[in-house]
Amino acid sequence: MKPTMKKILFLIHDLGQGGAEKVLVNLVNNMDRPKFDISVTVLFGGGVNEQFLAPDIHFRAVFPKEVPGNSKLMKLLTPTQLHRMCVKEHYDIEVSYLEGPSARIISGCQDATTKLVSWIHVEQHTIERLAGSFRNQREARECYNRFEQTVCVSQYVYDDFCRILNFQKPCRVLYNTVESEKILAKANDAVSELMDDGKIRLMAVGTLKESKGYMRLLSIIKRLQDENYPVHLYILGIGPLQPEMERYIQTNNLQGAVTLLGYQTNPYKYVAKCDLFVCASYAEGFSTAATEALIVGTPVCTVEVSGMKEMLGENNEYGLVVENNEEALYQGIKKLLDNPELLKHYKKKAKERGKMFSTEKTVRAVEEMLLKLIHKGK
């Protein structure tokens, strides 16, 4: 007798341009179809990553686009009320993908036969931040304790989450899914937007928002330009910080040293043709963009955020990790600019490290976790 497909729901805030959103699309597109009947529900539609979902994924948006003040509005309803509003079918497993609103909603599931999973992507540091999408800290603790399994995208995130909540429920680390073969194929595409000006090309990728540390990165570029370092920073992404960044670039005469490339459906071809990938973020989960840089063989210089030492080695074996402040990042970039042989060494090590990110390996680990959860207690 043919085994029945297991119905899995992934609930996420939206499928915008972020790394976690891209990782979810990679994951569901590569899961075993004979075993899993997969649905993805977003609270708010219109995200750029929706277009990349495989056609056999059941997709639904609760609202066609983001509603202003939605966080406050959602707190007016209980998790159970929100769940009734957002989830319309029975599933074997419901997954809250990304911390916050989706976790509050999935925790409201009242069906005892449905297993609940929460997926944590970013270190929270404090209970106040972790509880930001909940009515209060008590509700946050109650909601997260309703999940049979919690997944963290790095050991750093795991340690942070368990410490904050003094978490005793099942919790494990599963690294993000990246489509390494597709990334390498797309990396070969031609680009015309990168200037052939003889300068060393730096690349940063991610939503243009404060948490990504772009303003301090622009400040570093200004210092390097003032010291006559031949560098050009390219930034891939769109977001609310763009007007402030454009003003800074204009005011400080950085037009010849910084280019905002906007959102690109194929970022890999740009990253592959740059000399150094830079991450200036104040917080990350397990950086998708840095992972993709390694896969295409671009060296990485990053501030220390979640997952970077797991990715690049405790002793900078595969890339350069510095303290999370502007001065340390400035000195790190400068060190690589002053040492072309070291930059060349990290290019070789990036390619070596990039080979560890196998699509099949990460997807199979998720599938095994889900199947074990379904059969637990049967």
Model pLDDT for residues 338-359, shown as the tens digit of each residue: 999 999 999 999 999 988 887 8
- 126-150: per-residue pLDDT in tens? 999 999 999 999 999 999 999 999 9
Distance of CA 78 to the CA centre of its chain: 28
State which amino acid sits at residue 243: P
| 181-354 and 6-177+358-375 share a CATH fold | yes
Q: Yes or no: is domain 6-177+358-375 CATH 3.40.50.2000?
A: yes
Between CA 260 and CA 337 the distance in angstroms is: 22
CA angle at residue 347 from 342 to 350, to 5 degrees?
A: 120
| Predicted TM-score (pTM) of this structure | 0.80
Which has the closest alpha carbon to 133: 121, 143, 119, 123? 143
197-219 residues labelled b (16+ CB within 10 A) or e (exposed): eeebbbbbbbbbbeebbbebbbb
- 51-110: per-residue pLDDT in tens? 999 999 999 999 999 888 888 889 999 999 999 999 999 999 999 998 889 999 999 999
The CA R_g of the chain, rounded to the nearest whole Å, is 21
9 or 1: which leads in pLDDT: 9
> In the chain, where are the structural domains located?
6-177+358-375, 181-354
Structural element, H or E, at residue 42: strand 36-44
| pLDDT recorded at residue 1 | 43
Per the prediction, the chain carries an average pLDDT of 93
pLDDT band at 3 (very low <50, low <70, confident <90, very high): low
Is the pLDDT confidence value at 118 over 90?
yes
Q: Which two tokens stand for residue 265?
A: 């459906």
Which has the closest alpha carbon to 279: 315, 248, 304, 254? 304
Q: Yes or no: is domain 181-354 CATH 3.40.50.620?
A: no
Q: Provide the percentage of residues in the chain whose pLDDT is more than 90.
A: 81
- Tokens 């937007």 correspond to 193
| pLDDT recorded at residue 323 | 97
Which has the closest alpha carbon to 202: 300, 287, 288? 300
- Quickly count: other Cβ atoms within 10 Å of residue 51's Cβ: 9
Asked if residue 93 lies in contact with residue 87, where contact means CB atoms within 8 angstroms, the answer is no
Between CA 284 and CA 209 the distance in angstroms is: 13
- 303-314: per-residue pLDDT in tens? 999 889 989 999
| DSSP-based three-state secondary structure for 203 | strand
